[in-house]
Structure 1
């Protein structure tokens, strides 16, 4: 059934005349007549009785009219539901504890009426998530995706560079330092459990290790962030790396120390992935917010050479 013919039928009924309906729809009277004839032919009934004064509904037209109006209303509602800004922005924040989640949360708090649907898909690698964005299952995601792996049709923007910090317990040899150079970490064991081979963060930490001669390992099972904090608190050799705004909590008795890295400052480049040309209005607001509120680094910055710029 031709939806425009149904819309024309309802317009004729409400206007009372073919010419008035044509004027309302912005088409010719001949086009209105053609649509009505086509609709009647597809239904096998006459919907309108033509008179010298215009037209009136036939018996079948009276039966069809309320259904036609419901069809048009449903179509209008369906179109409205997917218009940009009519549904929440669905965004992958990677992990609830890390920087993208904190940044999106601050963005939401600055605009509490914003419709957002934040999900954490940290178990999926960057390629899978980029495909989900391209397919429309997600509106956006934060990933450190190598430039050559950005699929056609994806817009990749470095909008959230997060400086790394060293996290150690009070007995660690570097615990008293105000800042540490990445090169100073050579010879110290940096433990980051849970790094999965083939993920973008595994590639990032491998690049960091190679460029500064570090020993970063993921040996042993990852029993959660609380277990990691507990291990750091009781060790004089273990250290880990965290983002400046990553949200980790531990008891005061642990006395863990966050130590900035400088000369240069390694940053983890959270790249915003969206579909090219995607027009959801919240995306524009989020981009502006990230550009205005991102961390400022007063130091030379290090990122892997493969990062999207």
Structure 2
């Protein structure tokens, strides 16, 4: 497992990627009547027949949408351009009413793509089952080892994992509670073979740390936790931190997918003097029981039945 806080790695993770991350926009027919918007992020250099690097551009896919009629053209697959461009390791889904190019979430994908190709897709349906079905549809065209998402997209990824072979999940914020509603049943339904990474702000009102810790104790799935200090559910930061913090979190998630230690499950990200810093992975914090004080009281009274009494009080 690679150390994250060596001077070399700190400089590398804060700087620009050695190989620039590229992005391809394309559309995918998830059903005969539904076309979803997608992005594919990768770092491999793609070269044409003349050996000159070229930008990948998707084919124009604009078939008419006719009810009950299958699409006239198969979904564009960026990996078909070259054998050197591997399939995505992660399928990442946005939250409700959130486009794919929004700052923050895309920066998380860009950071992750330094280590693995990633496919991000959009689905504005209010149905979590509908969103989960799109995970299954994409997996039929693009193999992946992990599913993930932001907010509602993360909840859809949980359902997607329950009905696919993917047993690795990555959540960039998770809405565990909303008003008086709690949403942990699907997390508890994940089996012991599933491994989950949460990237959460410690000031997230939709996922209080105390409640997540209680859910974690009940989960069969194995869980890792990246705690981002002073971050809320929207991961909003001032100035360039709104890009740098999600980018670092994406890199940490990408390295976690490469290798992880089952005994080291918590990591903290924060800013100091405007610089993003982070810890190594650490063991789960164990809340120690409060110290117990025993006080022995001996009551002397001739009026007590049986004579003197001794009472022990534990505080």
Q: TM-score, normalised by structure 2?
A: 0.27
Q: TM-score, normalised by structure 1?
A: 0.28
Where relative contact order (Cα < 8 A, 6+ residues apart) is larger, the structure is 1
- Structure of higher CA gyration radius: 1
Structure whose residues are more often helix by fraction = 1
